[in-house]
Amino acid sequence: MKTMKNWLFSGFMFLIAVSAFSQGKVTGTVTDGQGSLPGANVAMKGSKVGVSADFDGKFSINSTTGTGELVISFIGYENKIVKFSVADGGTVNLGFIVLKSNSNELSEIIVKSSVVDVAKDRKTPVAVSTIKASEIQEKLGSQEFPEILANTPSVYATKSGGGFGDSRINIRGFDQNNIAVMINGVPVNDMENNSVYWSNWAGLSDVTSAMQVQRGLGSSKLAISSVGGTINVITRTSDMKEGGSIGITSGNDAYLKVQGAYNTGVMANGLSASILLSSTTGDGYIDGTKFEGKNYFIAFGYKANEKHDFQFTFTGAPQWHNQRSSYLKISDYSKYSADGGLDTKYNSDWGYKGGKEYSYSRNFYSKPVASINWDYKINDITKLSTVLYGSWGRGGGTGALGKSPYSTTRTADGLLQFDELVKYNTGQVNTLGATSLTPTGGQYIANSKDGYVRRASINSHNWYGAVINLNNKLSETLTLDLGIDARTYTGFHFRNISDLLGADGYLDNSDINNPNRTLNKTYDSSASLNPFSNVKDQEKIVYNNNGKVTWLGVFTQLEYSKDNISAFLQGAVSQQGFKKEDPFTYLTTDPLYATDYKNIIGGNIKGGLNYNIDDKNNVFVNSGFYSKQPNFSSVYRNNKSIVADNLVNEKVVGLEAGYGFRTSKFNATLNVYYTSWKDRFQRLSDPDFTNNRYGYYEANGVNEVHTGVELEMTAKPLPKLSFTAMISVGNWKYNGNAKFDRFDSNNAKFESGELFLDDVKVGDAAQTTASLGAKYEIFEGFSIDANYRIANELFASIDPATYLTADNQGTLELPSYGLMDAGLSYKLPLGSKNKNSINFRFNMNNVLNETYIAESKTNIFVTDATTPTYDGIATDNKVWFGFGRTWNFSVRYNF
């Protein structure tokens, strides 16, 4: 009996030992769908056993059980649970395990066209930050599209005057006229002045799949104006998976946005379609800035076979919004405050007419863009990508014409009295003065010196272009791109009458070919839904000219990639032609009535190299040179049809180096940069109000040097807790002095001289910024997040009158400030397998209700002022305050 017990006990212990020491091996490769994820964390669920993926994303982990689950994680990606079954002593290969991005990568965005230049992590040697659609939808709320970048290194975004879509952005100290904005590889900066008006793209956030900011010269193959950086926007496509969404967002000041979208997915016949419609209205945070915006996006796709893929998109965002376009003295914000404090919402450009909000300053515009993309896979190594596009801009902005209403008596609230202006224009007794408009022949006719009307300055255009790129894989390591970038643009610039304010007509003597015309036709200052509306036959006043611009560029890029080294060398040459037609200033017999084209050659060359030291560390370096053509106003200065005699290309040299560190729980990138910008031309408004209100300076030969360092970090120490942080320190200065010419509002030059700018700080943006954010998932689907950002070394914009002597005090430094934003998110899964969901989101911006100056137009120092100060700043300075506390709440149903 004892022997039997010994045998049973020995057998039992043997089984335990076999179970304990028998093992299987589980292997696989972790990727993001485009490349491997070195360092990805692979853990056995329910145990402490874990390994990290190697340089190629491969892993091998031992299992003491025949079945189980692996938890695969990597910062910036959603955790993935993979089941396995392995025989005793055997090995099972799970193949490629693809992680889904949750924030900062482009793994879900499949870019088919080689026209679109997307930087790849640990491969493309540029400083880059990427924001996905999920983050834009969650955190943007009722903010402006550029504000989603506020926590990106070296980016400064403000709301400017505060009207709908009036925000602006600076990158590394360069304004958005020198930042290239690309939508699906198509440049959208205005071809005359490189400007970008975000109100024209108010609906872009609705249709964005991902936005990537490449700081510095970037990796774009085109010869574009990316002095400060490139913003690449990739929109949704027709072949998204089947489904849709319905959403509504409400917020402070009657903000209301309603949106709906649906995608068919790719059907059996190869066709696909996607549509999105939205409407946004509100009163505006700033007084007198009511607005209304629409947005539509239509996409059709056809995949004929494995070689041919076609995509057609048509999107637009017609809108109108009342603006605050006049900078105000700090003292004015107190002058009209009800409690004697600061009324930072005060707007001097509006009032009431007939009991309804009415503004002299109103923007209205519609700029739809249509494109046809054809991707042709010629063979396994050669691909041809073509995009044909067109854009039709219609609209402009309104303002006062005739007598200046800004010097008339205002209400006790500081509002313009439009009902009194109507009385003046119709000969009635009014509060504006002892006299009224005198009738002529029984009619009340306003003119440039008497009477009040609202005019519209029209800036419409027709724009057509094509980008063609041939991509060829020369070998396993080398890829060559060759392409053509062709564009043609016609801009229509004139003024018409928006509102006669009771007058019977307006006497205009600006057309030399048709003098002394009395006009009485008015035009609606709302965006037309018809993108092809006629602008040529409208009655025009004050000025009327057309700008024509042509562009023909060729580009090439050679890429090398092998093992842990990747590099690129890119070059482009372009010819830009400028022509002006001016039927108001010149007789039809004058050769200057329509000029010949002035053609100017420009181009760039740049290159970079990235070296992955190991699976955690990488370094990169890039450099480049741009010869950038001057813009239209530089070629035809002073609004005349005479080509400037001292035209020179602007010259930009950029150098950049970076280091990256990446693990499954912590990522960091460190960049240093140097940018030299020489022979810059600038047109600057004259801060002297006595110079007919619209006088200006023209400065040429301006040189700038921008240097800085940027650090960006993300961490996920716990599965439900993550952090983001960044700090950027810049040193942006003028290098040497410059020349200037000064003009009145009639474009007559009356002064020339020197601007003493050497070693002066470049203004209009914060040179030091930092932010810290955190997100915590309280329970599944419910999370809370908060972010605090700081703007320091914030300088006023350049005010030419400040730099007329060598002993000037430089650029005015504004008070630094910090802002906290916070939000709550909840996702409620619905339907079978939780395919549907209802998403709730609450945002609060500037939680602490900080009062701060976002930008200043003037540089009046306390030592030069006779007025009191505010936060150490002379109250004579003309500034815009940022927004106080705002909020928005959204509900979206995804199906």
Q: What is the set of domains in the chain, with CATH numbers?
A: 23-98 (2.60.40.10), 243-894 (2.40.170.20)
Of 219-228, 634-643, 782-791, 814-823, the range with the lowest mean pLDDT is 219-228
Which residues does 820 contact at the CB level (< 8 Å), separation at least 6? 786, 787, 788, 846, 847, 848
d(CA 604, CA 574): 9
Span 208-251, pLDDT tens digits:
888 889 999 888 888 777 889 999 888 888 877 889 999 999 99
pLDDT of residue 42: 86
267 Cβ contact list (under 8 Å, min separation 6): none
pLDDT at 469 over 70: yes
In sequence order, what are the residues at sequence separation of 6 or more whose Cβ sits closer than 8 angstroms to the Cβ of residue 675? Answer: 172, 216, 227, 228, 652, 653, 654, 655, 705, 706, 707
pLDDT tens for each residue of 507-549: 999 999 999 999 999 999 998 878 788 888 899 999 999 999 9
pLDDT exceeds cutoff 80 at 876: yes
User: Tell me, what's the pLDDT at 121?
Assistant: 83
Amino acid 53: pLDDT: 81
Cα dihedral 670, 674, 680, 682 in deg (nearest 10)? 40
pLDDT at residue 111 in the model: 54
β-bridge partners, 542: none
The amino acid occupying position 155 is V
Instruction: Tell me the average pLDDT across 475-488.
Output: 96
Dist CA 274 CA 239 (whole Å): 8
- Model confidence at 19, pLDDT cuts 50, 70, 90, reads very low
> Average of pLDDT values for 750-774?
95
pLDDT exceeds 90 at position 458: yes
DSSP lists the bridge partners of residue 357 as: 352
Residue pair 581/593 in contact by the 8 Å Cβ criterion? yes
Contact 201, 280 (CB under 8 A): no
Q: Rounded CA gap, 374 and 355, in Å? A: 53
Vertex 234: Cα angle to 232 and 235 (nearest 5): 145
pLDDT per residue over 210-222, tens digit each?
Answer: 888 999 988 888 8
Give the residue with greater pLDDT, 749 vs 33. 749
Q: Is the pLDDT reported for residue 168 higher than 50?
A: yes
Given a contact cutoff of 8 angstroms between Cβ atoms, the answer to whether 377 and 469 are in contact is no
This prediction has a pTM of 0.87
**CA atoms of 881 and 327, how far apart (whole Å):** 10
Q: Specify the residue for token string 């090439």.
A: 556
Give me the percent of the chain exceeding a pLDDT of 90.
66
Residue with tokens 């910090």: 818
Identify the DSSP state of 77: B
pLDDT value at position 629?
94
Joined tokens for residue 147: 């504000």
Token readout for 572 is: 């482009």
Q: Which of 100-109, 503-512, 691-700 has the lowest mean pLDDT?
A: 100-109
**What is the chain's mean pLDDT, rounded?**
90
pLDDT of residue 39: 67
User: Of the ranges 421-435, 683-697, 729-743, which one carries the lowest mean pLDDT score?
Assistant: 683-697
Structure tokens at 520: 């009485």
- Tell me what pLDDT residue 318 has: 95
Instruction: Tell me how far apart the alpha carbons of residues 318 and 197 are, in angstroms, rounded to a whole number.
Output: 13
pLDDT over 60 (residue 21): no
Q: What is the pLDDT of residue 35?
A: 67
User: Going by DSSP bridges, is the β-strand pair 186-187/208-215 parallel, antiparallel, or unpaired?
Assistant: unpaired
For the cut 50, the answer to whether the pLDDT of residue 410 exceeds it is yes
d(CA 449, CA 507): 10
DSSP notation for 835-893: -EEEEEEEEEESTT----EEEES----GGG--S-EETTEETTSEEEEPP-SEEEEEEEE
Question: Which pair of tokens denotes residue 880?
Answer: 């815009």
pLDDT at residue number 420: 95
State yes or no: pLDDT of 756 exceeds 80.
yes
pLDDT of 6? 54
Span 57-81, average pLDDT: 83
**What is the per-residue pLDDT for 58?**
86
What are the two backbone dihedrals, phi and then psi, of residue 593, each rounded to the nearest 5 degrees?
-55, -40
Q: Which of the four pLDDT bands, split at 50, 70 and 90, describes residue 480?
A: very high
Ramachandran assignment for 454, one of left (phi > 0), alpha (psi -120 to 50 degrees), beta (any other)? beta
Band of residue 360 on the pLDDT scale cut at 50, 70, 90 = very high
Give the contacts of 444 (CB within 8 A, at least 6 positions apart): 425, 426, 427, 437, 438, 451, 502, 503, 504, 505
Q: Given a cut of 90, is residue 200 above it in pLDDT?
A: no
CB atoms within 10 A of CB 272: 22
List, for residues 731-742, the tens digit of each pLDDT value: 999 999 999 989
The pLDDT, as a whole number, for residue 493 is 96
What's the confidence (pLDDT) of residue 103? 43
